A and B are shown apart, each in its own frame.
Chain A
Amino acid sequence: MVEFEVPEIDYDQYSNRQLAVVPLVVLLVAIAVLAGSWMLTGSPVALGIEFTGGSQLTVESSMSTAEIGSTFSPEPVSIQGVGGEPNQYVLTFEPGSGSVTSLVDQAEGAGMTVLGSGETPATFGQESQRIALIGLAIAFVGMSLLAFALFRTFVPSMAIVISAFSDIMIPLAVLSLLRVKLSLGTVAALLMLIGYSVDSDILLNNHILRRRGDFYESTYAAMRTGVSMTLTSIAAMTVMAVMASFFNITLMAQIGFVLVLGLSVDLMNTYMLNLSLLRWYKLDGVSQ
């Protein structure tokens, strides 16, 4: 039977600098990816229809994708097959392709069965972009203030804020590289990530700062609990991501995927970046 026991890592072998450099380099690469994408495409991540505006149809048809495309005027910008359903396709249209009712008429005129449709006007999309940014900003600032309120010291609080920041940036960079389009689901997942990622950081800070005992003992106690927590969440989210993409429930698949990425990154950030900052703060006399 599989033993699931959190290994005790011999942190003594590594200097703070060695520990911190890995997550920081990954973070810098992520920021570079996002900045590069911003310069090349005008947006750090590809935006989905909810943020750019446009129309979407889910149709059932025995025609080939090329035939389906040529049925419409203007033609859809993308035609995606639905997993597990050989004759179902999701068609995406740019904003200004006419009203969704006229697209539905065109599809039905060509003998397709329309299973679903959606439309977001471009103005609505820009509004959503703005709201999503505001939401993320409020959540992040709120979380940072709370971190400072809880620990009331600069280095440990800052450690929480940096690792939460990195937990968001790295998954975003992965989405950007994979050209996955940002949707409302991914924004929700990024917000969830703020909540999840802070859990393990607070746990670690709490064990090291607020309890008596040896630094490494406290660290190991916190790790045992924290790693179990994060792995459990990763298990739940992996199942959600895999099953939901199998069933083609896009929203749940996206939330699951982003959280799996973010939680994995969080393991690195918490037990390398945050830990090295805390050790430097606690042992190298910054606190004295």
Chain B
Amino acid sequence: MNLRENWRVVLLLVFVVGSGIMLLVPGAPPGTAGGSGPTNLQYGIQLDGGTQLQAPPVGITAEEVNVSADNEAALASNVSDALSVDPIDVRVSADSSTVEVFVGNVSQERLRSVLEAAGYQPSTVRDGVTQQTRQEIVDVVSDKLTQSALDSGSVSTIRSTSGQTFVSITAPDRDLGELQSLLDERGVVRVYAFYPADNGTYVRQQVLEQGDFARISPAENQQGQPVVPVTIRETVAEQYQQDMVEYGFGQQTVCNYDREEPQSSRGRCLLATLNGEVVFSGGVEQGLAELYASGEFAKSPTFQMQTRNMSEARELEISLRAGRLPAPLNFEESRSTQLEPALAQQFKLNSLVVGIMAVFAVSGMVYLRYRNPRVALPMIVTALSEVLILLGFVAAVQYPLNLSHIAGFIAVIGTGVDDLIIIADEILQQGEVATGRVFQNRFRKAFWVIGAAAATTILAMSPLTVLGLGDLSGFAIVTIVGVLVGVLVTRPAYGDILRNLVLRQEQREK
């Protein structure tokens, strides 16, 4: 056997071995740690369970508002006052010349007239938010997911053909309700001093807001106590320190905050709220109180927020760190899918069985047709190697497998074997394949048909890869890659294998 003559077979072997490595060696695909499961395959929610949610961000955007960087803040407060919306729901950007309002009930006309009253001439006011805001939503959501889950899932934006953009979130280990409430948390965090006034009633004074935090460290256990260490900005540290002393935190305080009846609380508390709800309450320990009193705190403005358990600490950390979604997501207009892991596992096993049975069916047909294991066996092996290469590809790009992809694999086995039949029939037609040249000639003829058929399949499938029809893009990509692998690698190799078998047999018979 001559290596140069059989380079197509060698190429197929290289692909098969490469795919095997991608599929089976832990950590082989770039960017993976390896470890979980026997293969490097990623499974989508249909095969692993979990939730997928696609929702558009709420908001309208005015474009080409020529606001200077200096006037950003003034215009923002002007707009929020005129529309009577919360200041955090208005974003003015001089860079992109846009004004966004992230509230559902403000009409495009209202925003336009408010801007015109302020002396600006927006070119268009449209539904939706800016690219920058969308990217921030994606970042914040993926932050929220990674910090709250073992299996982090994924976030991306998808654009429909009508121009609307959706944020698409896949969370493998939570149900829809949990996911929505995680996203709903807009994470407006404020810190209050809570103390009894002179007349004995408790008062609440804001001492910090979200923007005052310079750094939020990960939740950790310190001597068995879950804490979230935070650092506040130096610019506000002095004022914060003065406030704390003024409200009586210059000495150790004990906090016994009553969430139901705040007025029946005891002690002095520092409260952190998320969306107005108290998520943290605690006194000030001796050491920290001394720092406030002496004025040392402002030099290194770091303190720790203690919680009762680790999961509370993580939630607090997410609220403080990930901040809020720049714009809320519209769940009314969302598309969602949720599947219990148990049912998904069932699908995983069953679809594997379906795939194997389909391979048996194809093999049986091929054997009945040729009755010659020399022809049929390589055909089946070649078709299987095509599926292996595809699995390797899917593992290498870490594409999450769903049911539609398994259907795609079966379709690939179908088209693959079709083409091998064309090659075999062409080469084995009446008349001996006496020489390499005859073989080449016949192979080329067969290949014309295969190439033409492959081109039509690719053409037919290509719209699905770009049109946003959910799962079907995966099906189309698997089919197209499968057809390409087939035409470029496996089918030429099958031709070589067949030539070796046929020529050797004929030589023996002479």
Contact = CB atoms under 8 A, between A and B. Distances in A.
Nearest to B424: A225
A192 B369 CA distance: 24
B449 A143 contact: no
A134 B422 contact: no
Residues of B contacting A: mostly: helix
Contact of A206 (B331, B342, B448): B448
Interface stretch (B33-41, B73-81, B403-411): B403-411
Contacts of B353: 243, 247
Contacts, number: 231
B468 A121 contact: no
A118 B339 CA distance: 8
A4 B368 contact: yes
A174 interface: no
A189 B202 CA distance: 68
Given A4-B365, A236-B414, A143 B354 contact: no
A121 B350 CA distance: 30
A188 B464 CA distance: 8
Contact of B468 (A131, A138, A188): A131
Contact of B176 (A100, A120, A211, A230): A100
Contact of A99 (B331, B351, B445, B472): B331
A202 B472 contact: no
Interface stretch (B130-138, B273-281, B454-462): B454-462
Contacts of A184: 404, 469-472
B404 A251 contact: yes
A58 interface: yes
B82 interface: no
Interface string B308-328: 000000000000000000000
B435 interface: no
Contacts of B162: 127, 130
B407 A188 contact: yes
Interface in A229-267: 229-233, 235-240, 243-244, 247, 249, 251-252, 255-256, 259
B452 A150 contact: yes
B421 interface: yes
Interface stretch (B102-110, B140-148, B217-225, B356-364): B356-364
Interface stretch (A14-22, A30-38, A193-201, A268-276): A193-201
B415 interface: yes
Given A4-B365, A146-B455, A228-B369, A233 B418 contact: yes
Interface range on chain A (Cβ under 8 Å from partner): 35 or more
Q: Considering residues B177, B337, B369, which has the most beta carbons from chain A within 10 angstroms of its beta carbon?
A: B369
Contacts of A206: 448-449, 452
A198 B459 CA distance: 12
Contacts of A195: 415, 453, 456-457, 460-461
Nearest to A3: B368
Contacts of B413: 236
B460 A192 contact: yes
A79 interface: no
Interface in B346-379: 346-347, 350-351, 353-354, 357-358, 360-362, 364-366, 368-369
B403 A229 contact: no
Contact of A116 (B343, B365, B422): B343
Interface string A126-147: 0110111011001110110011
B414 A237 contact: yes
Contacts of A194: 456-457, 460
Given A142-B459, A239-B354, A101 B176 contact: yes
A180 interface: no
A75 interface: no
Interface string B391-426: 000000000000110110011011101100110011
B342 A115 contact: yes
Contacts of A238: 361
Given A203-B449, A249-B347, A135 B404 contact: no
Most A CB contacts (10 A, CB to CB) among B331, B414, B461 go to B414
Given A100-B336, A119-B336, A240 B472 contact: no
B449 A228 contact: no
Interface of A: 2-4, 50, 58, 99-101, 104, 114-121, 123-124, 127-128, 130-132, 134-135, 138-140, 142-143, 146-147, 150, 184-185, 187-188, 191-192, 194-196, 198-199, 202-203, 206, 211, 221, 224-225, 228-233, 235-240, 243-244, 247, 249, 251-252, 255-256, 259
